[in-house]
Structure 1
Amino acid sequence: MSSARQRRDRVLEQLTELQSLPLGGTPEQAFKDRLRAELLSGALVEEPEPTPSRRVHRRRPLLSQLAAVGLAGAMMVSSFATYQAVPGDSLYPLKRAAETTLVRLSTDDAERGRRELDSAKARAKEVASLLGSSIDGPLIDRTLKDMEESTRAGISRLERTEPRSPKIKKFAKDQKEAVKPMLQQLDEAQLAQAEGYLDYIEGLVEPK
């Protein structure tokens, strides 16, 4: 396996572990230590400049560069416990950037679709957290919209690559259970947005 592929796989594994953290959780010290060891081992060190005669053939792949950036981003995410951030927090953009990196480094459309749906689930949890706080309405509006956009992007990819995937039906069921209890706490505009979302995911569940 090439070094670029190995770096990419490490980034995906580390970001996936970060994304699986519950809202409000922080990475364990062992995970932080492992990321730090990756950096100190030279994972981000530039490869030696090739000789002129082989410069074209040994040019560092773009994917390798992305993997290096992703690994640095993962370290930053871990260090500042970004995955506990919710919309409005100063570290929230880092959380979203890490999610975007995770999607872009995915190996194919099916995997990208699944990770988009993971992001949609994260947005649902954030909405629930915001509703239990004194956060202003616009942040809830934006998070509901982001949830729907990630859902549609993920479903579109999965329907192209895995049209009969049981993951689609399970996702729709889980999201319905997550969003429906929020309805009574939403204002009129948010309620219309959430109900439209529920109508959409309801159509993803095949009739019995």
Structure 2
Amino acid sequence: MDNALFSRRRTERFAQLLDEANGGLRHHVRSRADDQLAPLVALSRQLGANPPNAEVDPEFRTGLRAMLLATADREGIGTTVAGPAERAATGRGSLLPAVTARRARARGAILVGIAAGAIAVSGISAASENAVPGDALYGMKRSTERAQLALASSEISRGQLFLDFARTRMAEASSLRGDRPGYRGVLDDMDVATRQGVSLLTGAAVRHADPAALNTVEAFLTGQRRTLDALTERGSRADQERTARSLVLLDLVAERTEALRAAIACGRSAGTASDDLGPTPGACA
């Protein structure tokens, strides 16, 4: 069977089921895919009945509206069927086939479903901001971060995002009380984000011979060290040792940033090697 045809039929059937669930006319057909599509229809009804209590970003709303309008224009959704005079003028003497009309309605229903789903997902994303490891929405939170990275337009933007994520991991670590699992894993993720962000920003500073990107790193270090210092005596011995390793990393970042700033000032910023914190500084005379 043609996979494209099968997929189109599933899509059209899903649109019909959504239409019926929202009070539309019942279609006197039944598909073998109904049992598979039923959970999706139930989920869409739940999202419609209990929308997340979250504000939708105006920029997201504007971008979504532009995307939907472009899709509607491309697919011909909402286009008025030409009358007899117009059809005669264009040489089209036959009426629009019923299957084409059904496909147009199906596309319209799917388009509305995409809009509702995208807004719902954005609300769930906002609701997941305070999630910590073990919470149901934590996976959504991390997926949102990966989407932000994919949309970042420059190396500096990506570096700043990684440092923001490191701050987020720090906040998560601070909220994990007692022996709740996940503390050391969160610090592992925090250190990975720290290295990636620092590497991108120090690399940009060296390539442009401009220490402005280093200011971002230094501001990050100030807040991170203050919060991490408060965790040094908390938790088990293993947790305390893990906290100490993150503090060592911050010290290494501070040393690298200071050395790069001095190298840029003396015109010897282009080192011959690099590591997980970015380029190593050249020696000044």
* TM-score category of the 2 structures, normalised to the smaller one: 0.5 to 0.7
CA distance in 2, matches of 1:122, 1:191: 19
Whether the 8 Å CA contact 1:32–1:78 is kept in 2: the answer is no
Pair 1:175 & 2:240 matched:
no
Aligned to 2:39: none
Whether the 8 Å CA contact 1:77–1:98 is kept in 2: the answer is no
Larger radius of gyration: 2
* Offset of residue 204 of structure 1: 2.5
Count of residue pairs the alignment pairs up:
157
RMSD over aligned Cα, in angstroms? 3.0
- Where does 1:1-208 land on structure 2 (aligned, <5 Å)? 29=55, 31=56, 35=60, 39=64, 41=65, 43-44=67-68, 46=71, 48=74, 75-79=120-124, 81-131=127-177, 136-137=180-181, 139-163=182-206, 164=211, 165-205=214-254, 206=258
* Offset of residue 32 of structure 1: 5.9
Whether the 8 Å CA contact 2:179–2:235 is kept in 1: the answer is no
Structure 1 residues 35 and 158: alpha-carbon distance in aligned structure 2, compared to 1, 3 A threshold? closer
Whether the 8 Å CA contact 2:191–2:249 is kept in 1: the answer is no
When the two structures are superposed, what TM-score results if normalisation uses the length of structure 2? 0.48
Identical amino acids, percent of aligned pairs: 24
Report the secondary structure of 2:129's partner residue. Answer: helix
Deviations 1:5-57 (A, max 9, x none): xxxxxxxxxxxxxxxxxxxxx9854x367755754x352464727xxxxxxxx
When the two structures are superposed, what TM-score results if normalisation uses the length of structure 1? 0.65
Large movers: runs of 4+ above 6 Å? none
Aligned to 1:63: none
CA distance in 2, matches of 1:166, 1:33: 30
Structure 1 residues 75 and 178: alpha-carbon distance in aligned structure 2, compared to 1, 3 A threshold? farther
CA distance in 2, matches of 1:112, 1:85: 22
Structure 1 residues 196 and 74: alpha-carbon distance in aligned structure 2, compared to 1, 3 A threshold? farther
CA distance in 2, matches of 1:140, 1:178: 14
CA distance in 1, matches of 2:130, 2:221: 24
The code of the aligned residue for 1:149 comes to V
Unaligned runs of 5+ in 1: 1-25, 50-68
Structure 1 residues 105 and 182: alpha-carbon distance in aligned structure 2, compared to 1, 3 A threshold? same
Whether the 8 Å CA contact 1:77–1:83 is kept in 2: the answer is no
Unaligned runs of 5+ in 2: 1-51, 76-113, 260-285
Structure number with higher relative contact order (C-alpha < 8 Å, ≥ 6 residues apart): 1
Whether the 8 Å CA contact 2:128–2:137 is kept in 1: the answer is yes
Aligned to 1:14: none
Structure 1 residues 187 and 109: alpha-carbon distance in aligned structure 2, compared to 1, 3 A threshold? same
Report the secondary structure of 1:183's partner residue. Answer: coil
CA distance in 2, matches of 1:110, 1:27: 33
Whether the 8 Å CA contact 1:36–1:75 is kept in 2: the answer is no
The code of the aligned residue for 1:48 comes to R
